[in-house]
Chains A and B, each alone.
Chain A
Amino acid sequence: EVQLVESGGGLVQPGGSLRLSCVASGFSFSNYWMNWVRQAPGKGLEWVAKIKEDGSEKYYVDSVKGRFSISRDNARNSLYLQMNSLRAEDTAVYYCARLLWWSQYDYWGQGTLVTVSS
């Protein structure tokens, strides 16, 4: 059974940093592109970042470029999102999602809530 389990969310002040983690199981993690997708409270879904199977390619939505960094450790079946210079508008539930293909996501974690507030 495919499982994705996120952790690391919490309350952080504007300008602060947070590192999210996602541990994968039930599939060959190193064979898939992985993504972070977020959902602000009461709002829709927004793709945040993606990383290639071997970590050699990374892409970000414009609003987080230069502030967020996606990475992975295939030996630990883990995906990460380092978030710096956080803003109120980054407040959201962050989901780890496996890419099926062509920007379609077939498995999602349960999400971790990030709240940016003073």
Chain B
Amino acid sequence: QSALTQPRSVSGSPGQSVTISCTGTSSDVGGYNYVSWYQQHPGKAPKLMIYDVSKRPSGVPDRFSGSKSGNTASLTISGLQAEDEADYYCSSYAGSLHVVFGGGTKLTVL
């Protein structure tokens, strides 16, 4: 399986909204509603922010939301805050117990 495609970087000012895209194929993103998003601060472990395309684990602010259209999933962060600056990775179930990750997107809060 090939990696999912994410933009290398995105940026936004505090209070603004940003959207990170994650493009796959009909064999992964488009074929299953098992897309997840992870936040990773430098030197830290990944943290689950979104699962099943649009569900938030307990404790994740509702500023974070997920969606999917066709073979592309998206993570939207509204009301951007300084602490949101991090790397974000998407992943998708890809059938036959396989998972595929995106290459990661660096979010900069200006």
Contact = CB atoms under 8 A, between A and B. Distances in A.
A45 B39 CA distance: 12
A94 B24 CA distance: 25
Contacts of B104: 44-45
A44 B3 contact: yes
B99 interface: yes
A39 B99 CA distance: 15
A106 B46 CA distance: 9
B45 interface: yes
Contacts of B36: 104-105
A47 B36 CA distance: 14
A59 to B, nearest CB: 6
B45 A110 contact: yes
A109 B44 CA distance: 9
Contacts, number: 57
B64 interface: no
B52 interface: yes
A28 B79 CA distance: 37
B53 to A, nearest CB: 10
A108 interface: yes
A110 B89 CA distance: 17
B101 A95 contact: no
Contacts of B98: 103
B46 A108 contact: yes
Nearest to A95: B45
Contact of B32 (A102, A107, A110): A102
Interface of A: 44-47, 50, 59, 95, 100-111
29 contacts: A44-B3, A44-B89, A44-B102, A44-B103, A44-B104, A45-B46, A46-B101, A47-B99, A47-B101, A59-B97, A95-B46, A100-B48, A102-B52, A102-B93, A103-B93, A103-B94, A103-B97, A103-B98, A104-B36, A104-B48, A104-B51, A104-B91, A105-B36, A105-B46, A106-B48, A106-B57, A107-B48, A108-B46, A108-B47
Given A104-B91, A104-B93, 6 more contacts: A44-B101, A46-B101, A95-B46, A103-B92, A103-B94, A103-B98
